[in-house]
Amino acid sequence: MFNSLNNSAVNSGQTLAETKKLTATPSKNPGVNQSSPQDPYGNARDSSTLSTLASQLSEASVRAQARDVRLTKMELNSMAKNTFNELEGANYTSNKLKYDSEVPDSDNPTLLARAKSATQYTNGVGKNPFSGMPMDQLTLITYDDSGTFTVNERRAALEESAKQEFAWRQRVVAEAEHEYNSTGKLTKFFQSILDHYKSLPPALQAQYPNNYETKLKDWIDLDFNYFTHIAEGKKKMDTESFASKIIESDSSLFDDTTSS
């Protein structure tokens, strides 16, 4: 899943205790910052910039759809892992000079400026050029290895995805704690997690256990009250820990013994 992505991109001291990191349309992806029609690219407002990016994203979407149809879930999972290896950790660090010197094969000033901004950001200077971009578009950039986007642009998109996912996790865990303390249940929490999962593109769903959706539906249908049937109203439950395990598809909760 997104464990390694979270550890890398939310590395500024924000863990899930504070918390313990997908492509669908923006409207189907709850809990992340989304841009308005007038500002579909976060902080980029120039019409030529938006037109250039829109064209790139449209082409990336076509490639992603073809890839997602062609590959099995296991192959998509492997592709995702390879992407993380390229964009974070030792592999990225060892190739940093090469990535920093990479520029688009174009004389388009918009593309050159965005690539430069991404490189500056990955070196700790300036703002992420993809800040505020919807999650589905960030995912298109992250997993597009066609050369349309530089490696540093893809890394910047990955880190913005992580930032948005982190914010969503904080919110949903807080809601889970409130639901549990108020009702003894976690049914609404399970539904929120399921909705989030179903909004993700195949490349991201492939990083979850095969029975993730089925397990969540079972818990929703059960509508279990932890006060009356497990804790009997006398014990406290570590709701944050349990909620975090759900989000991170902890192996102690999900038996992922099958593949597809």
Distance CA 142, CA 80 (A): 10
- Find residue 185's DSSP bridge partners: 225
> Is 13 part of a structural domain of the chain?
no
Bridge partners, 225 (sequence order): 185
Is 173 a member of any domain?
Answer: no
* Within a domain: 116: yes
Alpha-carbon gap, residue 210 to 189, rounded angstroms: 20
| DSSP, res 106 | S
pLDDT at 93 over 50: yes
Tens digits of per-residue pLDDT, 19-56? 233 233 333 343 334 333 334 444 444 555 668 899 99
Nearest to 194 by CA among 151, 241, 246, 230: 246
Does the pTM surpass 0.85? The reply is: no
Can you give the residue range of the structural domain that contains 44?
29-161
Quote the number of domains for the chain: 1
Average pLDDT over residues 131-147: 95
Q: Which of 164, 174, 162, 158 minimizes the C-alpha distance to 17?
A: 174
Q: Which residue has the higher pLDDT, 100 or 259?
A: 100
Torsion sign across C-alpha atoms 63, 68, 74, 75: negative
Distance CA(74)–CA(207), nearest Å, equals 9
What percent of the chain has a predicted confidence (pLDDT) above 70? 74
Higher pLDDT, 72 or 49: 72
132 within domain boundaries? yes
Considering the domain boundaries, does residue 97 fall inside one?
yes
CA 208, 213, 216: angle at the middle one, nearest 5? 115
In a domain, 108, yes or no: yes
Assess if residue 2 is contained within a domain.
no
117 within a domain of the structure (yes/no): yes
- pLDDT of 148 above 70: yes
Per mean pLDDT, which range of 90-94, 101-105, 143-147, 234-238 is the poorest? 234-238
DSSP 225: B
Helices (H), 88-150: 89-94, 96-101, 109-122, 135-142
Q: What pLDDT does 259 receive? A: 46
